[in-house]
Chains A and B, each alone.
Chain A
Amino acid sequence: MASDTSKQQGRPGPEMGHRPPLLSVRELGVALQTRGGNLQLTQNISFEVGAGERVGIVGESGCGKTVTGLALLRLLPARSMQVSGKILLDGTDLLRLPGRQMRAIRGRQVAMIFQEPMSALDPVFTIGQQIGEAIRAHFPVGAREARERAVDVLDRVGIPLPQRRHDEYPHQLSGGMRQRAMIAIALACQPRLLIADEPTTALDVTIQAQIIELLVKLSSEAGTALLFITHDLGVVAETCERVLTMYAGQVVEDAPVEDVLVRPRHPYTSALMRSLPNLSVPKSVLPSIPGRVPNALAMPAGCRFAPRCAHARPACGRAQDALPVGADHRVRCARFDELELPGTAA
């Protein structure tokens, strides 16, 4: 995986906490409208991302990471999904913006990259056209200027021969180059926040490390905040400053990476760590957590992790609130104070 780049680069100083956050998500929830009524896919999601900060979201497949990421940019199908809560970007609630103003935010203030670079790129337009149109959607520049900027950003994301690649189609690039091209599209307008939804899951292991390193480098160089969505806690540990653990549609722990690695407060976070035999192993299939994620149709009334939790007690049958552990650490577990959970050091 990426070396410990994050440890040296772009660490926000202690003054960070006093500035208002770039992004503040409050009680975000996504409901799927079905014939049988609304199905709550995610709920009570609250977190903040500071300017230039790198925050990871981890959790097993199906816990609502992608839905949350898409909701932030209002990319969910409005016909079938209802988003509640607040998404404050510099204090402005994105959920209340008219369509035109929301478009001005997308790509310019907040950009997003996706898991599968091949299907995320339009197959019949060149890479350069797809970067150029992002630039021209937000800046009043001509075709020539757009081309110069596109070539420049291709160069910045480490694509060799950017002049030539500019005029090639997605199918002419390798998987890793395609993901770099995706990153180029996303960063073409110098957004302040980049949401990366499992950007390396579809790639080879060696390429994964390169892409992660690139994301960390670009984010720290340009001061772009990064919301890194992954099912791999190991990757988060190496790239991010803070980590949100999601379980069954909720954030169950929100803490600085350093703290949580040493002493996770939620049994699920701890279990995720123990399922990583070694942080440099990329694919975590969570072998050590017995049981399965509950179905959205049959959520446990109390703690959602209770059916799989080794520490469950009768008290866990009540709904769990996010409780403060410290100034910047919250956990959705009633027993966090009594438990001594092992981190990666164990």
Chain B
Amino acid sequence: MNRRWRMLGERLSQVIPVIVLATIIVFGLLQLVPGDPAMTLAGEQATDERIAEIRHLYGFDKPFLVQYGTWLGHAAQGDLSRSLLSGERVVTLIGQSFPHTLTIVVLALLISLLVGVPLGILAAMRAHTRADTAISALSSVGVAIPNFWLAMILVTYFALGLGWLPATGATPLGESVVGSLRHAILPALALAAGGIAELTRQLRSALLEVLSSQYMRTLRAKGLSETAMICKHGLKNVGVNLLTVIGLLFNRLLGATVVVEAVFAIPGMGSLIVRAAINKDFPVVQGVVLSMVLVVVATNLLIDMLYSVLDPRVK
């Protein structure tokens, strides 16, 4: 346990520069966006003085490093400033949006695992048979289907056609678990198709590699069944690969929600950043990107820690 804490400390110290770098990039990129946020804020008929006043008020006239330093200082204390549009605190906006996104992403990840892992095991156990070929054809389709297209098909069929599930919107998890899941299931399915395919493929190839290893021969030589070999030894040995895939998948799903949230009109992080970017609402864009970076970094940290649980060789 002690070793794990020390490892966590080490990883954290490696991660902080990554976060700082990410914030610099985000901050710097926004400077390159054409147009002047002060002008946008001041409105169509504003005088030059009014624009200058606003520019000063928001600190847009300060040098880049000063602006960045001020923002970072506040951010470190949990203050991400306020939206230029609504004047609401950015932290509040994120607090409202993030749960919607997280619900969809976690649900999509669970569906990917629940379907992808058994399919991957089946494909490996029946490698080079018809079942395997069928699974691999299906996963090629799953990888190739665009999320938004699948999303629209699902909405058309299950929501608009059959009326089983709501077509748009979201319910906070805290308000109604059932309502929240009913809203989340179609977007999660749209996201999960790629995840299922990815997990199935990766698990199949990782399992096949493990199956051809020398220790599998030892296991067979001592009289173990195929099922014990694959489901006990195979799965534990591919655990590290599987974790990596899950981590990457989670991060990818976070990114992919932007499109799916748009199709389903879900007020999540994707919708928030799209609206903010269109309106040059810089503090919101910065806040959303920063929190996404933090989530991704935290996921990777968690995965790193789990490696050492699964694989005794990881120091």
| Residues of A participating in the B interface, judged by any CB pair closer than 8 Å | 70, 73, 75, 79, 103-108, 111-112, 114, 116, 119-125, 133-134, 137-138, 169, 171, 182, 185-186, 188-189
Contact status A138-B223, CB under 8 Å: yes
Nearest chain B CB to A68 CB, angstrom units: 15
Chain A residues lying within 8 Å of B4, measured Cβ to Cβ, are none
Contact among A106, A121, A123, A124 for B223, CB-based, below 8 A? A106
| Binary CB contact string for chain B from 202 to 225 against chain A (1 if under 8 A, 0 otherwise) | 000000000001110111111111
Contact residues in B for A112 (Cβ distance below 8 Å): 221
| Chain B residues within an 8 Å CB radius of A186 | 221-222
Q: A106, B221: Cβ atoms under 8 Å? A: yes
List CB contacts (< 8 Å) of B208-246 with chain A: 213-215, 217-225, 228, 233, 236-237, 239
The answer to whether the Cβ of B6 comes within 8 Å of any Cβ in the partner chain is no
Cα distance A104–B224 when bound, in Å? 9
Are B237 and A111 neighbours in the complex by a CB distance under 8 Å?
Answer: no
Contact across chains for A116 and B128 when beta carbons are under 8 A apart:
no
| A121 neighbours in B (Cβ, 8 Å) | 215, 218
B213 in contact with A119 (CB, 8 Å)? yes
Contact A120 B313 (CB under 8 A): no
For the A-B complex with A133-B222, A133-B228, A137-B222 known, give 17 more contacts whose Cβ atoms are closer than 8 Å: A75-B217, A75-B220, A105-B223, A106-B220, A106-B221, A107-B223, A108-B223, A111-B221, A111-B222, A120-B214, A120-B217, A124-B312, A134-B222, A138-B223, A188-B222, A189-B222, A189-B223
Contact A171 B217 (CB under 8 A): no
B173 within 8 A of A: no
Let me know if B223 and A137 touch, CB within 8 A: yes
Q: Give the complex CA separation of A98 and B263 in angstroms.
A: 56
Separation in Å of the B312 CB from the closest CB of chain A? 4
**Does B215 contact A75, Cβ atoms closer than 8 Å?**
no
Task: Report how far A329 CA is from B312 CA in the complex, Å.
Answer: 51
Quote the shortest CB–CB distance from A135 to chain B (angstroms).
9
Contacting pair A124 B218 (CB below 8 A):
no
Inter-chain contact B223/A114, CB cutoff 8 Å: no
Please indicate the chain A residues that have their CB under 8 angstroms from the CB of B313 in the complex: 123-124, 169, 171
Residues of B within 8 A of A70 (CB): 217
* Complex Cα gap A108–B220 (Å): 12
- Residue B311 lies at the interface, judged by CB distance under 8 Å to chain A: yes
Give which listed residue, B215, B218, B223, B239, contacts A103 with CB less than 8 A.
Answer: B223
Please state if A107 and B222 are interface contacts (CB–CB under 8 Å).
Answer: yes
Closest to A76 in B: B217
A103 to B310, alpha carbons, bound, how many Å?
A: 29
**Contact residues in A for B220 (Cβ distance below 8 Å):** 75, 106
Instruction: List A contacts of B236 (CB < 8 A).
Output: 124-125
Chain A residue numbers with a CB within 8 Å of B222 are 106-107, 111, 133-134, 137, 185-186, 188-189
Note all chain B residues with C-beta closer than 8 A to A119: 213-215
Asked if B223 and A75 make an inter-chain contact with CB atoms under 8 angstroms apart, the answer reads no
Q: A189 to chain B: which residues have CB within 8 Å?
A: 222-223
Question: Considering only CB atoms, which chain B residue lies closest to A74 in the complex?
Answer: B220
* Complex contact B218–A182 (CB within 8 A): yes
Closest 3 CB pairs of A and B: A107-B222, A107-B223, A119-B214
Assembled-state Cα–Cα distance A287/B192 (Å): 62
A121 to B312, CA, bound (A): 14
Q: Which residues of B contact A75 (CB under 8 A)?
A: 217, 220-221
Quote the shortest CB–CB distance from A172 to chain B (angstroms): 8
Residue of B nearest to A134 (CB): B222
Chain A nearest CB from B306 CB (Å) reads 13
A-B contact pairs, 11 of them (CB 8 A): A70-B217, A75-B217, A79-B128, A106-B222, A122-B215, A123-B237, A123-B312, A125-B233, A133-B222, A137-B228, A189-B223
The CA of A134 and the CA of B218, in the complex, are separated in Å by: 10
Q: Complex Cα distance A138/B224, Å?
A: 9
Report the nearest B residue to A105, measured CB to CB. B223
Q: Name the B residues within 8 Å of A138 (CB-CB).
A: 223
- Rounded to whole angstroms, the CA-CA distance of A111 and B224 in the bound complex is 12
Contact call B218/A122, Cβ cutoff below 8 A? yes
CA distance A137 to B313 in the complex (A): 27
Nearest B residue to A126, CB-CB:
B312
Q: In the complex, which of the residues B215, B217, B239 has the most CB atoms of chain A within 10 Å of its own CB atom?
A: B215
Out of A103, A104, A108, A169, name the residue touching B312 (CB < 8 Å).
Answer: A169
In the assembled complex, which residues on chain A have CB atoms less than 8 Å from the CB atom of B237? Answer: 122-124
Binary interface encoding of chain B residues 61-88 relative to chain A, with 1 for a CB under 8 A from any of its CBs, else 0: 0000000000000000000000000000
Report if A120-B215 is in contact (Cβ < 8 Å); known contacts: A125-B236, A169-B313, A171-B313. yes
Point out the residues of chain A lying under 8 angstroms from B239, CB to CB. 124
* Closest CB in chain B relative to A77 CB, distance in Å: 9
| Chain A minimum-CB-distance residue to B216 | A122
Residues 9 to 58 of chain B near chain A (Cβ within 8 Å): none
Which residues of chain A come closer than 8 Å to B219, judged between CB atoms? 122
Contacts of B128 in A (CB 8 A): 79
Closest chain B residue, CB of each to CB of A169: B312
Beta-carbon contact of B214 and A134 below 8 Å: no
Contact A73 B221 (CB under 8 A): yes
**Which of chain A's residues has its CB closest to B212's CB?**
A77
**Cα-based distance from A67 to B96 in the complex (angstroms):** 65
Which one, B223, B225, B233, B310, contacts A122 given CB within 8 A? B233
Q: B278-315 interface mask toward A, CB cutoff 8 Å, 1 = contact, 0 = none?
A: 00000000000000000000000000000000111100
How far in angstroms is the closest Cβ of chain A from B288?
39
Complex CA gap A75/B217 in Å reads 7
Contacts of A116 in B (CB 8 A): 214
Q: Which residues of the other chain, B, contact A79 by a CB distance below 8 angstroms?
A: 128
**Nearest opposing residue in chain A for B127, CB measure:** A79
| Bound form: Cα–Cα A188–B224 in Å | 14
- Nearest opposing residue in chain A for B240, CB measure: A124
Closest to A195 in B: B221
| Least CB distance, A97 to chain B, in whole angstroms | 13
